[in-house]
Amino acid sequence: GIQVEQSPPDLILQEGANSTLRCNFSDSVNNLQWFHQNPWGQLINLFYIPSGTKQNGRLSATTVATERYSLLYISSSQTTDSGVYFCAVAIDQAGTALIFGKGTTLSVSS
């Protein structure tokens, strides 16, 4: 099955720093999403980005489908950015669903 690898596994930042999270996947995908799981466990949709580039405030994401990777950029990080960031992909095949990576745990301190 398709493999999803995220790096780095852990990231510690001071408030105001920038960061880049990476997601590599092993096959062509029809769907790629980035989620933020906050400390209360809620999964928040960040981007639906099977290809191309999107921006939303301090966050932006780029997926290069032909090279099978996606990047999530966080600029001017805030303590509320802390949590786990998941990349998930899907291949639109019966019996499958979103396949999640193991996540990147981000801790932002003031």
Partner 1 sequence: NAGVTQTPKFQVLKTGQSMTLQCAQDMNHNSMYWYRQDPGMGLRLIYYSASEGTTDKGEVPDGYNVSRLKKQNFLLGLESAAPSQTSVYFCASSYSGLRGEQYFGPGTRLTVT
25 lies in the binding site for partner 1 (CB under 8 A): no
H or E segment to which residue 4 belongs: strand 4-7
Nearer to partner 1, 30 or 76 (CB): 30
Distance CA 4, CA 12 (A): 22
107 lies in the binding site for partner 1 (CB under 8 A): no
Strands annotated E in 15-80: 19-25, 31-37, 43-48, 52-56, 59-64, 69-74
Q: How many CB atoms lie within 10 A of CB 21?
A: 22
Nearer to partner 1, 38 or 76 (CB): 38
39 lies in the binding site for partner 1 (CB under 8 A): no
Nearer to partner 1, 35 or 74 (CB): 35
Residues 47-86 that bind partner 1 (CB under 8 A): 48, 86
Distance CA 52, CA 73 (A): 14
11 lies in the binding site for partner 1 (CB under 8 A): no
Q: Applying CB under 8 A, which residues contact partner 1?
A: 4, 30-31, 33, 35, 41-43, 45, 48, 86, 88, 90-103
